[in-house]
Amino acid sequence: MTKATFSHDDLPYLKESIISLWNNGINTVAANVVFENVWEDGDDIIFESQLKDLADYILDKGMWKEYSVRFFDPKIGFPLKSDELKNNFCGAGKMLAVDYKGDLFPCVRFLDFALSDKKGFKIGSIDKGINFDKLRPFAGLSLENQSSQECINCEVATGCAWCTGANYDFSDNGTIYKRATYICKMHKANVRANEYFWNEFTKRTGLISPREEYKKFRYIKSEDAKYLQFIISDNITPHCSYVSKTGDTPNNMNDDIIHKGLLFAKNNNLNPVVLGDRNLQNESFLNIISNKSKNTDENSIVICDHNSNLPSNFEGICILLITRNNIENILNFVSDLYKSVNRINLTIQDIDQWTDSDIHLYKEKLEELVEFVALTYKNVNPLQINILTDILDLDLMCNCDAGRSHISLAPNGKFYICPAFYFDNPDNNIGDLDNGIDIYNEYLLDLENAPICSGCDSYHCKRCVYMNKKLTNEINTPSKIQCVLSHLERNASLKLQEKLNPENIKFKNVLNSIEYLDAIDKLKERME
């Protein structure tokens, strides 16, 4: 293996340079472009063209079997996952460079002759040893603390490299904690060429590319996975806090929209989820489906619409819908479902209509549910139910996150933050398949811009942005009833935890008692 670095003047020769290295017996080339401010307008176009020509050469001659170059690493060009924010790309600080005088540096890039705007950054000498205090800042470097929000939120961020020496050289005050980003356009050109290479690979070989395999591995079971929900019909069984449309002539999603939607999902690293009873092009996508359907399989999440009926032999995840009219039946529903499933997501559909008596009854039923769930733990067959057990293993908010972790595609070919916005008013769209997605005031979807929620520790709360908008007119602000129900659930979870403590059952989140049921009270206290 060898390292190859390309600058502005080298770009027209990139393809032939890589081929020459291969012809000289170097099968693996760790190539990159320089991090300095040398790039001119149009360099990214030349770079992309050279890489695409190289891609065609590799595929024409079948060289992908034995030869590789970092520019076509299948893992580059994806949004960052949360754990990747703690990583650091550059190895400066974990190596040593020695100059002719015996002085020591974090790497060659920190020597005087390699710097254009700063003095050499010396960390010791062979006579006096290493000044480890000078190395301490390097130990703390991460992608997150040296990058701008633009870099962190970039949709093609993975594989975008940086040089700590360049950071030091080009920062205003010599800090290594400010990332130099002169390669931004070049990295995006690399990603486009990378996608071209692997798409052509599949077309020419008929094989699933390593990039597609990696994409499945990266997102399908990741907490950072993102989804595109296909609303197959206007009369689907709802799975959350909305009511679908019923009628003799339901509006169904046609094959053209399905095809375009699947292509959009593929191009934007979104996992398709089917809402309704239809198989999309014979693919085994996650399917959220009514318990009346005869097409349930291992990829199905079954919806029990105000009942506890499950398909025979079903053992997967169940969504239980309730309203104020059947609060009384919650325990009966849950105990029946527990005979077949170990995971129940209980969803309340009509909280905007709840009265004080409904709230009081719900509190009583939660207490009954605590007793039942505690027994399932003691019998070593614990029931997971979102309103009680999820919070026990959370140390951060884990909300619905509509508009961020998932969006919805309706039968009309338009995108929505979630199905509720579509069924409430089809004009509430956030884009379409032809023009993409554009969420107005998108920043308000982020937890840090939700002042009531950001200081709350009811981590299991759905934080439903549809109900927020419906009841308070702001997507970042929950209504009182939403907060009260979530905190009643939190208090019930605390009782469950206390019941299980003598059994030596440990949980990640140790809850404490609170004096309020509405998180706005905590916000007011912080602001006083």
Do both 74 and 135 map to the same domain? Answer: no
409 lies in some domain: no
Q: Are residues 241 and 331 in the same domain?
A: yes
* Radius of gyration of the CA atoms of the chain, in A: 28
CA torsion 413-417-419-422 (nearest 10°) is: -60
What's 173's DSSP letter?
Answer: S
Residue 268 has pLDDT above 60, yes or no: yes
Q: Which tens digit of pLDDT belongs to each residue from 4-48?
A: 999 999 999 999 999 999 999 999 999 999 999 999 999 999 999
The whole-number average pLDDT for the span 174-178 is 94
Confidence of residue 469 (pLDDT cuts 50, 70, 90): very high
Name the phi and psi angles at 508, rounded to 5: -65, -40
> Do residues 147 and 86 touch, judged by C-beta distance below 8 A?
no
Residues 295 and 311: their CA atoms lie apart, in Å, by 10
Q: In this structure, is residue 437 part of a structural domain?
A: no
Residue 478 lies in a domain: no
Q: Is 56 part of a structural domain of the chain?
A: yes
391: left (phi over 0), alpha (psi -120 to 50) or beta: alpha
pLDDT above 90: percentage of residues in the chain: 78
Residues 160, 201 share a domain: yes
Q: Are residues 69 and 184 in the same domain?
A: yes
Report the alpha-carbon angle 89-160-6, nearest 5.
100
Instruction: Tell me: pLDDT of 249 over 70.
Output: no
Cα separation, 83 vs 173, in Å, equals: 29
- 499 inside domain: no
Answer whether residue 419 is part of any domain. no
**Do 41 and 172 share a domain, yes or no?**
yes
Residue 65 is assigned to a structural domain of this protein: yes
Q: Is residue 447 part of a domain?
A: no
133 Cβ contact partners less than 8 Å away, ≥ 6 residues apart: none
Q: How far apart are CA 180 and CA 202, in angstroms?
A: 35
Give CA angle at 181 (178, 184), nearest 5°: 155
Identify the band that residue 105 occupies on the pLDDT scale cut at 50, 70 and 90.
very high
Q: What is the pLDDT of residue 219?
A: 65
Q: Which domain holds residue 187?
A: 1-91+141-223
Q: Which residues contact 286 (CB under 8 A, 6 or more apart)?
A: 227, 271, 272, 273, 274, 299, 301
Cα separation, 215 vs 217, in Å, equals 5
| Cβ neighbours of 515 (radius 10 Å) | 7
406-411 average pLDDT score: 96
Residue with tokens 């919805």: 408
270 shares its domain with 368:
yes
Q: Are residues 295 and 234 in the same domain?
A: yes
Q: Does one domain contain both 302 and 372? A: yes
- Tally of structural domains, the chain: 3
Name the residue with tokens 């003598």.
502
| Strand pairing report for 384-385 and 414-416 | unpaired
Domain final residue pick, 189, 223, 257: 223
Same structural domain, 159 and 15: yes
pLDDT of amino acid 215: 81
* Global confidence as pTM: 0.73
Residues 322 and 252 in one domain: yes
Q: Please tell me whether residues 86 and 99 are part of one structural domain.
A: no
Domain boundary among 223, 248, 272: 223
**How does pLDDT run across 419-451, given as a tens digit for each residue?**
999 999 999 999 999 999 999 899 899 988 999
Region 498-527: mean pLDDT is 87
In this prediction, residue 248 has a pLDDT band, given cuts at 50, 70 and 90, of low
Q: At 2, is the secondary structure helix, strand, or coil?
A: strand
Structural domain ending residue among the three candidates 223, 258, 282: 223
Domain shared by 357 and 315, yes or no: yes
Q: What is the pLDDT of residues 190-242, one digit of tens each?
A: 999 999 999 999 999 999 899 988 887 776 555 667 899 999 999 999 999 89
